[in-house]
Structure 1
Amino acid sequence: MLDNISKMQPGIKTKRISSYDRTGGNADFIRIAAGETADLAVIAGAGKIKHIWITVNAPDSFIRRNAVIRMYWDGEESPSVESPLGDFFGQGWGEEYNFASLPLAAAPANGRAFNCYFPMPFGDGARITLENQSGEPINSFYYYIDFEEHPSIPASEGRFHAWWNREVTGVHPDEGETEWSVIAPQSANPTTEHNYVFADIVGSGQFVGINYFVDNPGPMWYGEGDDMWLIDGEDWPGSLHGTGTEDFFNSSWCPNEVYAHPYFGYAKVPAKLGWMGRTHCYRFFLEDPIRFEQSLHASIEHGHDNSLTLDLSTVAYWYQSEPHKPFPALPPKEERGNMPEIGVVDVHKWRHAWRQAKGSSPTLWGNE
């Protein structure tokens, strides 16, 4: 990673676009009204974005999901990056918490400083926008966009892409919601048909990372799901087939603890019963990108054989040649809200319903 830091590169100029106060004062931010889209950077010519830093102050406590960041390369009309602001930088559910990885970070105070170090090349212009889809203004939006001007960037150099997806998964198998065959024997899953899809790419490129946010309404382990990669139109089981969610994220044995490696980890875990609640997993393929020449379809089971109801949202990151396949329409903000958190009162109500189903004996324990 540091090998090129001493290499002299004549003709490359370092530049920055920021929210600094043009009058020389200290109001070093912009204001973005409700419903407004602000151009954060419009850059002509060829170059490469090297670093982005952002912090936000807004009365809307859900602004990290209600603000949308988009990036366009080389005059394209369809964005190569489209994601809620917080999710792109590794902050799920509109929440604030620290997150550390090599390409992305949410730094103190309490994860409110967003940083991105993914290089983003462009050959004929770049545009970065922020749309405030909230009903309230962003009172102060601070940012740096550090970039280089290059004499030229070849079309063969992949353009950076990122796509946010979200699904509240339905239970697929006939045996109902189960795992580890607790409720009934579980079937095999020789297909990707019912999996959660986190990348569906057409073109040539390489996949370099994912932020994976899972909200689990029950206490059962959410991570028996295998990751499945179909490269260049191949059939199941594909060139890359995983053995479980925690294995895909380079951990083991149903972890439930915060862990931060530069390439992978668990930035947030719940302190609840079992694996109930919101967990943020991440993995970046910086040493081992997943390469494709024509297409890439990447998915993961939600529980073995897609047996669990989960609220899954992801941001996938990759480089590819243009033009890219346009993303599906981003769901409106009303459809990007969180599912209600399940807590101790809900669990007690479940127990009450179970006691009634068992005849309401006064000594029912819970494992009958």
Structure 2
Amino acid sequence: MSYGSFGSSLRDLPRLRSSRRRRASSWDRSGGNDDRLTIQAGESAVLADIEGPGSVNHIWCTVALPHRDGPDVTETDFLRKLVLKVTWDDQEHPSVLVPLGDFFGVGHGRTVNFVSSPLQMSPQDGKGFNSWFHMPFASRARFELISELTAEPVFFYYYIDYELFDAIDEELGYFHAQWRRENPADGIPQGDQSNREFQVEGTNLTGDGNYVILDAEGRGHYVGCVLNVHNLRETDAWNWYGEGDDMIFIDGEPFPPSLHGTGTEDYFNTAWCPSESYSGPYHGITLPGGPNWSGQISVYRFHIEDPVTFARSVRVTIEHGHANKRSDDLSSVAYWYQTLPHRPFTLPPVGARLPRR
């Protein structure tokens, strides 16, 4: 009995399999209805510690402050202060280290109803978080939730659904997710440039200075990202944030990379500077921003049918405005599979993660 050579599609549902289905959850061990963890400010909780071989195939969770409304609530940014940490096979460094809300597909510490193939936020108001990324492991899977709140506890309800096998395919990669931010991105002042010159003219023939979504080493494949933008440019002129091209450099290749795109909305599979919400299986706009593309934007693109494979390294980047001229607040989550060990990465301190208001 092993992971198997079949997938999870409707076509494969009739195929019988012999894995052992298991779940770690927050059910009340006393038999009562207190089916949650209460995680105090500054503390951590082990959500699951599983001996493999196995594969996590679904995560559901929801989180709330004990007092959701009223004058006593002070830490409303808890979705950026709570961190999901996942470590595979007793590795020294975690493979997932992402603020909780961002991991499930929406940035800026916000929630909204949306549907994609691997990630969903479900009613009411997107407060039910779901992941269907499959996460195989050989010997151990350890899931932790870290609270970096300073004053308030949180109520946390969760399921972590997984399968156990007798063996694991050595060709399976390990799931990874990393959060990054540039606040603000390193742009240039508009000065005496016209709005057209600042927004759409100039050149970038190196990729230097692009916003970096992922910079990884090893063998694997990149499977997508969430990109968040807080538009910091205050103007009545045309203020589209997304004229920057995507550039993905594979195995250390020089400029121009094998995968060079034509604009931010193009990489995220939309068109013509969109300003409305949309969610599809592989791409979407969960937060479209306000008038003239102002405020907070969150978009996603998942490479489920078209993963970006790499043998030695991958560097996923995107311009912040054409020729990297804009200085907006950018943050992102990258999702990928690769061999272990991976290049270690860290998470910025909590003060550098908080969303702007």
The answer to whether TM tops 0.5 is yes
SS at match of 1:22: coil
Aligned partner (choices 56, 63, 69) of residue 63 of structure 2: 56
Aligned partner (choices 14, 18, 39) of residue 6 of structure 1: 14
1:336 counterpart = 2:353: yes
- CA shift in 2, pair 1:184/1:233, >3 Å: closer
Partner in structure 1 of residue 33 of structure 2: 26
Count of aligned residue pairs for this structure pair:
337
Tell me if the contact between 1:169 and 1:196 (Cα under 8 Å) persists in the aligned partners. Answer: no
TM-fit CA distance, 1:95:
1.5
Unaligned runs of 5+ in 1: 341-368
Matches within 5 A, 1:31-50: 31-50=38-57
SS at match of 1:94: coil
1:283 counterpart = 2:298: no
Tell me if the contact between 2:188 and 2:326 (Cα under 8 Å) persists in the aligned partners. Answer: no
TM-fit CA distance, 1:271:
2.7
Deviations 1:288-324 (A, max 9, x none): 0011110001100000010111111100101111111
1:71 counterpart = 2:90: no
TM-fit CA distance, 1:136:
2.8
TM-fit CA distance, 1:94:
1.0
- CA shift in 2, pair 1:166/1:283, >3 Å: same
Matches within 5 A, 1:254-269: 254-269=273-288
Instruction: Give the structure, 1 or 2, with the largest relative contact order (CA under 8 Å, sep 6 or more).
Output: 2
Aligned partner (choices 216, 233, 242) of residue 231 of structure 2: 216
Partner in structure 2 of residue 364 of structure 1: none
Tell me if the contact between 1:178 and 1:307 (Cα under 8 Å) persists in the aligned partners. Answer: no
Matches within 5 A, 1:82-231: 82-173=97-188, 176=191, 181-183=196-198, 186-218=201-233, 220-231=239-250
Partner in structure 2 of residue 355 of structure 1: none
Q: Give, in whole Å, the separation in 1 of the partners of 2:192 and 2:300.
A: 26
TM-fit CA distance, 1:156:
2.1
- CA shift in 2, pair 1:180/1:157, >3 Å: farther
The farther-off stretch of 294-303 and 50-59 is 50-59
Tell me if the contact between 1:202 and 1:325 (Cα under 8 Å) persists in the aligned partners. Answer: yes
| TM-score using structure 1 length | 0.88
RMSD between superposed Cα atoms in Å: 1.7
TM-fit CA distance, 1:14:
0.4
Partner in structure 1 of residue 337 of structure 2: 319
* Aligned partner letter, 1:100: V
Higher Rg: 1
- CA shift in 2, pair 1:177/1:250, >3 Å: farther
SS at match of 1:213: strand
Tell me if the contact between 1:173 and 1:187 (Cα under 8 Å) persists in the aligned partners. Answer: no
Deviations 1:154-197 (A, max 9, x none): 33210000000011234545765978634598321011211100
TM-fit CA distance, 1:270:
2.1
Q: Give, in whole Å, the separation in 2 of the partners of 1:3 and 1:186.
A: 49
Q: Give, in whole Å, the separation in 1 of the partners of 2:45 and 2:130.
A: 19
- CA shift in 2, pair 1:196/1:8, >3 Å: same
Unaligned runs of 5+ in 2: 1-8, 66-72
SS at match of 2:101: helix
TM-fit CA distance, 1:269:
1.3
* Aligned partner letter, 2:142: R
Deviations 1:90-129 (A, max 9, x none): 1211112212111001111111110000000000010000
Q: Percent identity?
A: 45
Q: Give, in whole Å, the separation in 2 of the partners of 1:177 and 1:319.
A: 45
SS at match of 2:266: helix
Aligned partner (choices 239, 245, 249) of residue 258 of structure 2: 239
- CA shift in 2, pair 1:62/1:153, >3 Å: same
Q: Give, in whole Å, the separation in 2 of the partners of 1:45 and 1:224.
A: 45
* Aligned partner letter, 1:221: W
Tell me if the contact between 2:198 and 2:325 (Cα under 8 Å) persists in the aligned partners. Answer: no
